[in-house]
Amino acid sequence: MNEWHSNAWLIIELLLVSVLLWFVVDYIYFNIATYVRPMGFDITHCYNIQCSKLTPSSPDYIPADTSYYKDMKRITNRLRQHPDIKAACLSRQAHPYSSGGTWNPLSYDTLTTLRVHFCSIEPDFFKVFRCSGANGETPEQLAQLLEKDPNGFLMSANNFKGSGIKASSLIGKDFYFYNDSTQRHQLLALYEPIRDSEFSIDSYSRSMMSRIDDKHFKNRHFTTLSISVRVNPKYDVDFINRLSNEAQKSMRVGNLYISSIRPFSSERAYVLQEYKNKLRNYSTGAGFLLLNIFLGLFGTFWFRTQQRRSEIALLKVIGATNRDIFGRQLSEGLLLLTIASIPAIIVDWNLSHAQLNLWLNDPNTLEPSRFIATTFITYLLIALTIFLGELLPAYKAMRLPPAEALHNE
């Protein structure tokens, strides 16, 4: 009777933990699945360079200098000439791991895309980040296309996905931006989708690249400009310090000077901190749940082994082997888990369809295969924990000398 009671409690606990753990496993599974997908760029040996402007209180201030855009372009050109640097480009809220940006629809004829990340770049952007074309074009070829037609643009191959139209059939067609049909731009090529971060899903990775110019640029947009460079791997040693020192003399144009040089790995770390924190929180939650199961099973079965001393002793007397005793203990816990899993799976299925994990994940991606995989992993994790929790008590039961147990009784 007493065992029935404690079994009931264990089942309730296993049920609760199964439901909660599934959410965590699903979250982590989804994030790992997203993480490993191709990024569309390469940031090794790349650096992000920001400039600042002198204030009037500086002795070097030049009141006549009014165009920050032109100054930035000149600094970019100088960097391009630097012997250590393979490629350099100026861009506006376009580089990988940038925060912020403008999102607008692209339109061709009667077709309009969902909002797309509008990036303003110099053609060398493709060379800096080694982005490749959807039809196998090299970064150099992509850069050439934009160089030849400054009014044209390129877009990521996943635009129009799911709308039934092949994006490649639109190459060469004239599009317009911001719903402004007076200005037409020709689609020059498609490139492999560039993701904002490792945790950014495909549907958020829609972008387009057009040539940066000073027509639409206002001085107050200055902070959105940055220079990205790719350094020759041979010379990528203590690059930041060396460039900082040189920059004081050779990279000052007008009122602008280089104020920060950061490797893109830092930018990446900055953007990923949010996900890192979330993963930390969820993993801690999962660890807590599993640890509780471990303690619960351990304590319960330790106590049960004590209570059942005479029963176990009798079993041994009539011929059960040590392995039989051991196996019997273990299978009890797993049986409880299996009983708890059935309602747990039903609850999880319903909750996920009520889209309670919408706030965690992209909607419309709860494919049956993902559900099965995550449910299986959850079951496995808890089963492993149960196994570990029962190990010592089961071992103890196994080693019980029968005569002693019966004598005590």
- Residues contributing to the site for another protein (CB under 8 A): 1-2, 5-6, 9-10, 12-13, 16-17, 20, 52, 54-60, 99, 220, 241, 244-245, 248, 257, 259-260, 270, 273-274, 277, 280, 284-285, 288-289, 291-292, 295-296, 298-300, 302-303, 307
Please answer whether residues 290 and 21 qualify as being in contact, where contact means their C-beta atoms are separated by less than 8 angstroms.
Answer: yes
Least distance (Å) between residue 289 CB and another protein: 7
How far is residue 260 from each of residues 52, 74, 81, 187, 218, measured CA to CA in Å? Answer: 9, 17, 19, 35, 22
Which is closer to another protein, CB of 93 or CB of 156? Answer: 93
User: Pick from 165, 154, 68: which is nearest to 118 by CA?
Assistant: 154
How far does the chain reach from its first CA to its final CA, in angstroms? Answer: 19
State the residue for tokens 């940066």.
212
Q: How far is the CB of 259 from another protein (least distance, A)?
A: 5
Rounded to a whole number of angstroms, the minimum distance from the CB of residue 60 to another protein is 6
Nearest approach in angstroms of CB 275 to another protein is 9
In the complex, least distance from residue 85 CB atom to another protein, rounded to whole angstroms: 20
Q: Enumerate long-range contacts of 330-333, CB under 8 Å, 24 or more apart.
A: 330/387, 330/390, 330/394, 332/301, 332/390, 333/297, 333/301, 333/386, 333/387, 333/389, 333/390
Residue with tokens 């019980």: 400
Least CB distance from residue 332 to another protein, whole Å? 15
- The nearest distance, CB 288 to another protein, in angstroms, is 6
Which residue blocks in 96-138 are alpha helix, DSSP H?
125-129
**Residue 28 or 54: which CB sits closer to another protein?**
54
Residue whose token pair is 């209570």: 307
In the complex with another protein, the residue whose CB is nearer, 245 or 365, is 245
Least separation in angstroms between residue 107's CB and another protein is: 24
Distances (CA, A) of 261 to 47, 80, 222, 227, 309: 7, 15, 17, 10, 70
- Could you tell me the two tokens for 112? 């309009």
Q: Nearer to another protein by C-beta: 48 or 228?
A: 48
Compare residues 232 and 260 and give the one whose CB is closer to another protein.
260
CB-nearer residue toward another protein: 52 or 338: 52
CB of 329 to another protein, least distance (A): 15
The Cα 173–Cα 160 span in angstroms is: 14
CB-wise, 29 or 302, nearer to another protein? 302
Give the residue carrying structure tokens 């800096």.
Answer: 128
Dihedral sign, CA of 293, 298, 304, 307?
Answer: negative
Q: Which of 24, 21, 16 is nearest to 278 (CA)?
A: 24
- The CA-based angle 172-120-210, given to 5 degrees, is 10
Kindly state the smallest distance separating residue 213's Cβ from another protein, in Å: 22
Nearer to another protein, 372 or 392 (CB): 392
Under 8 Å between Cβ of 112 and 106: yes
Q: How far is the CB of 208 from another protein (least distance, A)?
A: 24
Q: Which is nearer to another protein, 266 or 365 (CB)?
A: 266
Nearest 5 degrees, angle CA 81-CA 82-CA 84?
135
Residue number, 158 or 228, with CB nearest to another protein: 228
Q: How many Cα neighbours within 13 Å face the side chain of 274?
A: 9
Judged by beta carbon, residue 58 or residue 186, the one nearer another protein is 58
Largest Cα–Cα distance of the chain, in whole Å? Answer: 103
